[in-house]
Amino acid sequence: MSKLFSSITIKDLTLKNRFVMAPMCMYSTKGDGHLTPFHFLHYNTRAVGGVGLIIVEATAVEPRGRITHNDLGIWDDAFIDGFKQLTSEVKSNGAKIGIQLAHAGRKADLPGEEIIAASPIRFNDHYQVPKEMTKEDIHTVIKCFKDAALRAKLADFDIIEIHAAHGYLINQFLSPLTNKRTDEYGGSIENRARILVEIVKAVREVWSKEKPLMVRVSAMDFKEGGNTVNDIIEIIKLIKDDVDIIDCSTGGVVSDAKINAYPGYQVKYAEEIKKATGLLTVAGGLVTTPEMASEIIDNERSDMLFLGRVLLREPYFVLNAAKKLNVDYSWPFQYVRGK
């Protein structure tokens, strides 16, 4: 049987298979950051469809950290009950569930609101010039991540993912293309990674060591002068004692990056990171066939596989993949007639 359908235990979390639903923004709140009926349908459908771990989309740790006004939020205790209902439903439908804690930084498209970043460089002509963060701003954001992690715990999430990829705030500090600071949060790799190190440690103060913590990274900036996978490996080594899983993506930090995207184009970075750090990894990137998914896991190129847009097209991809790979996999009893 393909290892795709084997269980994996990470700290106190056991996943029934290696399929992970990648966090994908739905931009579907009513402007208040709260879950809507759409979100419950969206995530529960993928749970019924057999996904082992569902990661809820980028959820802002403070209002100015949203990508748009229609993003999910977790900056207040008022969000806990809604998320607790979601986690309960998803688990009852057979999946485990995590949440991606995020801050958009300079990629916040919030007309009329002040946005912040490592340095006062806008993403492109569509976006505002952000305010360069003071040390007080940095400490505020770190506390926002810590408070959000506590709310995630109270809402019964199984795992937290810290979003340090795709050109959002933490990534803006990590990349020399967007971080031009001259204080202790800029310059060397250690300095650029300082905010990530401090966020991880703050989250761990409220998120038990017995519970898994994941960080999503952009393994390549795809522009000269930006981070390469070797730089990211050095950054990961600074947090590896407090982190269990690295979710390996790429790009997003600058608008003119040259990315050659092909099926599985990001998998090699997960493979390199896994080998160099010894941490568990999640790989993906235009993986759309059961055969390709199986090859990645069976050959131990990564420990888990994230699926994104393919799950938007095929919510039951996992169940159909089992059939295609001749795996006798359990279906929800309500759907067994269709098996």
Beta bridge partners of 307: 21
DSSP 3-state assignment of 280? strand
**pTM, rounded to two decimals:** 0.97
* HEC letters along 242-253: CCCEEEEECCCC
* Total number of domains constituting the chain: 1
The pair of structure tokens assigned to 114 is: 């002040």
Q: Are 305 and 329 in contact (CB under 8 A)?
A: no
Q: Which is nearest to 4 in space by CA: 332, 269, 326, 312? A: 326
Q: Is residue 110 part of a domain?
A: yes
User: What's 255's domain CATH number?
Assistant: 3.20.20.70
- Please tell me the distance from the alpha carbon of residue 286 to that of residue 265, in angstroms, as a whole number: 7
Beta bridge partners of 240: none
Q: Is residue 334 part of a domain?
A: no
Return all residues near 111 (Cβ < 8 A) that are at least 6 apart.
none
- Please tell me the distance from the alpha carbon of residue 247 to that of residue 166, in angstroms, as a whole number: 12
Q: Is residue 335 part of a domain?
A: no
- Encode the chain (339 residues) as per-residue pLDDT tens digits: 789 999 999 999 999 999 999 999 999 999 999 999 999 999 999 999 999 999 999 999 999 999 999 999 999 999 999 999 999 999 999 999 999 999 999 999 999 999 999 999 999 999 999 999 999 999 999 999 999 999 999 999 999 999 999 999 999 999 999 999 999 999 999 999 999 999 999 999 999 999 999 999 999 999 999 999 999 999 999 999 999 999 999 999 999 999 999 999 999 999 999 999 999 999 999 999 999 999 999 999 999 999 999 999 999 999 999 999 999 999 999 999 998
Q: Is residue 296 part of a domain?
A: yes
- Please tell me the distance from the alpha carbon of residue 79 to that of residue 190, in angstroms, as a whole number: 34
- Please tell me the distance from the alpha carbon of residue 98 to that of residue 90, in angstroms, as a whole number: 10
Q: Is residue 91 part of a domain?
A: yes
Q: Is residue 175 part of a domain?
A: yes
Identify each DSSP E strand in the chain by its residue range: 8-10, 13-15, 19-21, 53-60, 72-73, 96-102, 116-117, 131-132, 159-164, 213-218, 245-249, 280-283, 304-307
Using left for φ > 0, alpha for ψ between -120 and 50, and beta otherwise, residue 162 falls in beta
Domain interval for residue 282: 3-328
Q: Is residue 159 part of a domain?
A: yes
Q: Is residue 339 part of a domain?
A: no
Return the pLDDT at 1. 74
Return the pLDDT at 27. 98
Return the pLDDT at 2. 87
